[in-house]
Structure 1
Amino acid sequence: MKKLLIVATVLFINTNVMFAQKGKPLFPQTPGMVSYTYRASFAKDAAATLDTLKSLGIKDMEFSNLFGKTAAELRALLDERGMRCSSFGVSYEEALNKTDQVGQNAKTLGAKFVRVAWVPHKGAFTLDMANQTVADFNKIGKKLKDEFGLTFCYHNHGYEFEKYEEGTLMDYIITKTDPKYVSFELDVLWAFFPGGDPAALLEKYPTRFKLMHMKDLRKGVEGNLSGGTPVTNDVALGTGQINIPAVLKAAKKSAIEHYYIEDESPSYGTQVPQTMAYLKGLKN
């Protein structure tokens, strides 16, 4: 009889644990923010914009613009508010030709990552372009790692999903770059827009992605390989076409360290709080 009671108790406890886990938050942390979301506001008053972000609970920033300030001045504004910059975005040209300055600014900001989000090109992205990109990224990443202790990341933008052999040129760039020196930032919208599956990409390369841009695409919008769409097609998470829970579940099993909200829409003032509420409400 005692054995039966013990077994029943264990089953009861395990069942309760199972149901409790189903109710756990899928995204328990507070997300970071890409400065580009608040670009117009930052250009007018960086301090006031940081105050707004802090009031929303945002403490982690990815800056891709210094907004007319020095890296030291921007770092001081962050420090005063108990905020941090974990990633610093620059242009391809700056990363390649001004690597020392980029590395110094990133270190001053307190960033661990340096990110590039666009490979300059005309027309369709080609294998030759991908090969040059691989060579440049390996060079940039090695210098940033060896001389500044920084991790270089490339942020996908859609045009790299041109078909190549059994995959895409994005697969080619990922597999041909040196993982010691080159990592990646997954932009969820720009993986979905060209016909890719952002969750599947994370599952395929679980150790290569270190950062993520969380954004959603307006329902009814058809994608392509251009790397561009009107900013009004950015919508609050959970209201668009992308299966955000599937992406976040895959991300939890990956090497991603920082999750940033990016909303390019002029409606970011209302959409960002909506996105944050959506993330907070997600359950396993």
Structure 2
Amino acid sequence: MKKILFALCLATTSLLNLTNSFAQKGKLYTFPIGVESYTYRNSFPKSVVATLDTIKALGITDMEGGAPKGMTEAEFKKMCDERGIKISATGEGYDQLVKDPMDAVRKAKALGASFVMVAWIPHQKASFNLDNAKKAVADFNRAGKVLKENGITFCYHNHGYEFQPYENGTLFDYIVKNTNPEYVSFEMDILWAQHGGADPVQLLKNYGSRFKLMHLKDLKKGIKGDLSGGTPPENDVTLGEGQVNIPEILRLAKKAGIKHYYIEDESNHEYEQMPKSIAYLKSLKE
């Protein structure tokens, strides 16, 4: 399996003539290729080495992720370093972050990461409410302060359910407005924003400076989202083939100064879709 996957990616790399970044004149996407490690959630447990070789072969030099099960942060960082892959951000569970923010700091520094993100606020399924948002605001402000004091930036990653209507906006608006920008930043997942009924373009216009990271992914055309924070994997399609306005999002994201962009493919066809998504980004013009 290892040899097959690696050979497939080498062939794809040769075909697409990928580079480590898209800094060519006139290109819209001018940042190092990044990937969210969850994309390869089915591959890492089988072989960390083969998976990292796959990522390297695609020309990816930036990753958001943590040490795979059974491996220390230092061991994983060493393997990534050997392949020219920087771990710029890592994830942490909500409860663990609240319980021990210094542990999140320790793991981030061991990985060489500058950002820690949380991607889910505990709540009753499809029933995210104001009390959940208020608790998250207090927890994020408190934990984010600890991270900031130790040189790490905390980001909350939207998952769609936060766009529950509230007053003249949404509960996401409430979270943004009530968290301290010194301690709390955000990672925009453009698929989950779209799926939750928000407009990623408008979010960038409203809160551009609060976003530091971005997940690049696309939602299948014709799919109507909801506030559940979930959708079947087949609705996650190759970048540019779905309903998300990726070119305009990237234009505004560049103006906002977003630091890292990670392709996240939650489909079960990541080996087919990832090269196509990278090629799409490479094709975009200013």
TM-score using structure 2 length = 0.89
Identity of aligned residues (%): 55
| Shift of residue 76, structure 1, vs aligned partner | 0.9
Aligned to 1:10: none
Contact kept in structure 1, 2:44 and 2:68, CA below 8 Å: no
| Shift of residue 99, structure 1, vs aligned partner | 1.6
Give the distance between the partners of 2:204 and 2:69, measured in 1 at CA.
32
Deviations 1:131-153 (A, max 9, x none): 1000000011001111x210000
Deviations 1:229-266 (A, max 9, x none): 00111000000111111111111111310000000101
5+ residue gaps, structure 1, are 1-22
Aligned to 1:174: 176
Aligned to 2:198: 196
User: Residue 137 of structure 1: which of 129, 135, 140 is its match?
Assistant: 140
Contact kept in structure 2, 1:25 and 1:281, CA below 8 Å: yes
Give the distance between the partners of 1:169 and 1:64, measured in 2 at CA.
29
Give the distance between the partners of 1:52 and 1:137, measured in 2 at CA.
35
Aligned to 1:276: 278
Q: Does 1:152 align with 2:154?
A: yes
| Shift of residue 65, structure 1, vs aligned partner | 5.2
Aligned to 2:91: 89
User: Residue 126 of structure 1: which of 126, 129, 137 is its match?
Assistant: 129
5+ residue gaps, structure 2, are 1-24
User: Residue 117 of structure 1: which of 102, 116, 119 is its match?
Assistant: 119
Give the distance between the partners of 1:170 and 1:120, measured in 2 at CA.
15
Give the distance between the partners of 1:193 and 1:61, measured in 2 at CA.
24
Aligned to 2:227: 225
| Shift of residue 187, structure 1, vs aligned partner | 0.1
Give the distance between the partners of 1:207 and 1:191, measured in 2 at CA.
17
Give the distance between the partners of 1:64 and 1:80, measured in 2 at CA.
16
Give the distance between the partners of 1:76 and 1:233, measured in 2 at CA.
35
Give the distance between the partners of 2:247 and 2:69, measured in 1 at CA.
34
TM-score using structure 1 length = 0.90
What is the aligned-residue RMSD (CA, Å)?
A: 1.1
